[in-house]
């Protein structure tokens, strides 16, 4: 069974630009969560999507948004990039029909904002 | 607001020694997850603890959960260099849904020969 995939793996953007990251969950998984990891703030929850609906949202500004498609693939978008958005963005997928017991993480997208 | 605290944050051990990493959390939960992260890599799921008193072992690592004390431990037995990594515990914000989890700050373990 293929694992969680994320594209691109590395990205360099300039302040003020926007970026879209993609995540393909494990086949059959309907929940996709996004996390931001930085040395200063650690791992922080961004949002979770389940069956194309945002189920949970973390404490991030509106510049961070996401969506999920009918095939469970998810994208997250960051507009008007700031230097502080430089981070490793991790996507995690979970199985089950509603209750999710375990998350499987993708390799991450490392975003550098200059 | 759920808070998850790990200690120690940094741990340097000699090969062959035993040690325990502690994970405390602030609100009721009967589920807890442990992950391992190697430098520059993603998170690898180690243990999923689903009830009070749960104990799981894999090789030299053993994890346990005490929901009454809101405490989980990750015990390392006879450490080897390959165990050097950062270990995170995570608690689901909503008891039954792992999709939104709060992570501890991580414990960076270095095992020296």
Whole-angstrom Cα distance, residue A42 to residue B104? 8
Q: Which residues of B touch A106 (CB under 8 A)?
A: 42
For the stretch B14-73, pLDDT in tens is: 999 999 999 999 988 878 999 999 998 999 999 999 888 889 999 999 999 999 999 999
Q: What are phi and psi of A33, to 5 degrees?
A: -115, 150
CB contact under 8 A, A101 and B93: no
Distance in Å, alpha carbon of A20 to nearest chain B alpha carbon? 19
Whole-angstrom Cα distance, residue A28 to residue B36? 24
Res A33 pLDDT > 70: yes
Res A96 pLDDT > 60: no
**Adjacent-strand bridge partners of B108:** B10, B86
For the stretch A7-29, pLDDT in tens is: 999 999 999 999 999 999 999 88
For the stretch B67-105, pLDDT in tens is: 999 999 999 999 999 999 999 999 987 655 567 889 999
CB contact under 8 A, B45 and A105: yes
Spatial contact of B81 and B111, defined as CB atoms under 8 Å apart: yes
Distances (CA, A) of B64 to B9, B23, B51, B72: 19, 10, 10, 5
What torsion, rounded to 10 degrees, do the Cα atoms A19, A20, A26, A30 define? 120
Res A1 pLDDT > 80: no
Whole-angstrom Cα distance, residue A98 to residue A111? 31
Please name the helix (run of DSSP H) or strand (run of DSSP E) that holds residue A64, with its range, or none. Answer: strand A64-68
């Amino acid at each position: 069974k293929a694992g969680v995939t994320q594209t691109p793996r590395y990205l360099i953007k300039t302040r003020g630009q926007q970026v879209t990251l993609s995540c393909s969950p494990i086949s059959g998984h309907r929940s996709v969560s996004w996390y931001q990891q930085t040395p200063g703030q650690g791992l922080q929850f961004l949002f979770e999507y389940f069956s194309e609906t945002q189920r949970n949202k973390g404490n991030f500004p509106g510049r961070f948004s996401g969506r999920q498609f009918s095939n469970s693939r998810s994208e997250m978008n960051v507009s008007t990039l700031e230097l502080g958005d430089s981070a490793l963005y991790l996507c995690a997928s979970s199985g089950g029909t509603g209750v999710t017991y375990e998350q499987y993480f993708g390799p991450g997208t490392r975003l550098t904002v200059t | 607001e759920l808070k998850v605290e790990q200690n120690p944050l940094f741990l340097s051990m000699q090969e062959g020694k035993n040690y325990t990493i502690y994970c405390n959390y602030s609100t009721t939960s009967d589920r807890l997850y442990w992950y391992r992260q190697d430098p520059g890599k993603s998170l690898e799921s180690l243990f999923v603890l689903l009830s009070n008193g749960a104990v799981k072992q894999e090789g030299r690592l053993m994890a346990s959960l005490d929901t009454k004390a809101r405490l989980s431990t990750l015990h390392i037995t006879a450490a080897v260099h390959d165990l050097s990594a950062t270990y995170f515990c995570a608690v689901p914000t909503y008891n039954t849904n792992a999709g939104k989890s709060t992570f501890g700050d991580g414990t960076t373990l270095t095992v020296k020969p």
